[in-house]
Amino acid sequence: MEKGLNIQDNYNIAARGFPLHARITLCFYPALGYNITVSRLYIGIFAIAAAIGMAACDIFYKPWFSIDLTVFRLPIWILVFPYGALNIIYHYMEKRACRLSDEEIIECGRKLEDAVPEIIDLIGQKVSIKEIAARMETTRGIPQLITLKYIIALGKAVKT
C-alpha cells in the first residue's frame, strides 16, 4: 500500500478521522485497562515544551538535564526538541496523506457518490474497512486506497 496507510485498521479510522497509527496508546496498569490515547501532535507539543523548560533550567539555573561525555557536555533538550518537531511534522504528513486529492475525486467521484449508501450500511453492520474497500473494488471498480480515504472523509463529515 502506498503512503503508509493500512487498510486493515478497522471502523475506528473513519470515526476518528485519521489513521490509528498516527496515535500512540500509553498503557497504565494494563491489567486494569487504563489506557490513554494521545496523537503525535500533542506528543510533539509536549516534547517541545519540555525541551524549552530543560533549556531554561540549564541556562538559568543548573545544568541538570545534561549528559557528561568524555570531551563535552550534551544537553538533553538538544535531542528532545527535534523529537517533538519530528512528531508534529509526522502528524501533519499523515493528516495530508489521508485526504482525497483532486485527481482522485475526478477519477472516482461519481462512483463514490453512488456507493455512499452501501458504504454506510456496511459500516453500520460493523464490517471491517478492509472488507468494505475490497468489496468496493470488486463491485464498483474503486481502488481500495481511495475508498479508505473517502471513508475517512465521511467520518470527518459526520463528526462535525
pLDDT of res. 5: 36
- For residues 86 and 59, membership in a common domain is answered with yes
Give me the percent of the chain exceeding a pLDDT of 90.
19
> Per the structure block, which three cell numbers stand in for 109?
467521484
C-alpha–C-alpha distance, residues 92 and 119, integer Å: 27
Joined together, the cell numbers standing for residue 83 give 523529537
| Phi, psi dihedral angles at 71 (to 5 degrees) | -105, -35
User: 7-44: per-residue pLDDT in tens?
Assistant: 333 334 444 444 444 556 656 666 666 666 778 888 99
Domains of the chain: total? 2
For residue 104, the model assigns a pLDDT of: 85
Residue ending a domain, among 73, 97, 121, is 97
Domain boundary, last residue among 97, 113, 129: 97
CB atoms within 10 A of CB 150: 25
Tell whether 51 is covered by a domain.
yes
- Domain contains 46: yes
Tens of pLDDT, residue by residue over 116-129, are: 889 888 888 888 88
| pTM of the predicted protein model | 0.63
Q: At what angle do helices 129-140 and 144-159 cross, to 10 degrees?
A: 120
Residue at which a domain ends, from 52, 73, 97 = 97
